[in-house]
Amino acid sequence: MTPDVRPLVAGNWKMNGTRAALDQIKAIAEGVDGPLAEKVDALICPPATLLYVATALSTDSALMIGAQDCHQDQSGAHTGDLSAEMIADCFATYVIVGHSERRSDHAETDHLVRAKAEAAYAADLTAIICIGETADERKSGQTLEILKRQLAGSVPDSANAETTVIAYEPVWAIGTGLTPTVDDVEKAHAFMRAELVARFGDAAKTMRILYGGSVKPGNARELMGIANVDGALIGGASLKASDFLAIYGAYEVLTA
């Protein structure tokens, strides 16, 4: 955890969820409405088909809703894409950009991710910018080099703590059940914090840096208690309200 930084627990549903899953969003919205909501933010990023209804379900709760991606342009002939303005028009407040699955499945570059983050800012959305190394990069000792490059290339010069969240997701840990050691996570997050402060100054000391990669109820308290870890970006465990709320609830002890 980082002193004086409000943690964020975010769920990325990826390509999962139909209307039947809205019951889970309703349960999460109800579950985060308590004393902990004064200290910790909660966010769910459902598929685009559920975006508008999800925001309606969470209107009177502390739960925020975001999207999983946006196009870099405001409008145009881009069949199948969604602009940041369209996402904001659904009353969402966050958007994930640069997730490793977008980088690998759609060959997204750092330059494109930066453009998407800038589009998010223009629509008054908070951008969650994802970075992380692959298994091969980790094995060859390139983790910090990759993080440095992706931070420099993916984060806009106009980024600040209000508009930007960084999510560190080791690609090899996403959906595999594997997690880095506490020392590995602490080292990576300390490095990212130092890089951000060197570039943006003291204001970057309060920019949130989330950890993602096989975060579960059983390891949430340990991971989110690490220095410079300001919350989590959760994949599969966010699909069930009980699991998401258990991870969110880890902060009952951490913020006590």
Q: Which of 99, 101, 189, 195 is catalytic?
A: 99
Distance set, CA 226 to CA 3, 128, 185 (Å) = 12, 20, 8
Separation CA 191–CA 228 (nearest Å): 10
Residue 12: CB atoms within 10 Å: 26
Alpha-carbon Rg for the chain, nearest whole angstrom, is: 17
CB-CB contact of 244 with 234 (8 Å)? yes
Q: What are phi and psi of 80, to 5 degrees?
A: 90, -10
Q: Which of 118, 133, 169, 195 is catalytic?
A: 169
Q: Is 78 a catalytic site residue?
A: no
- Structure tokens belonging to residue 157: 């010069």
Q: What is the per-residue DSSP string for 70-124? A: -BSSSSSS-TT--BHHHHHHTT--EEEES-HHHHHHS---HHHHHHHHHHHHHTT
Q: Is 222 a catalytic site residue?
A: no
Separation CA 13–CA 10 (nearest Å): 10
Residue numbers annotated as active site: 99, 169
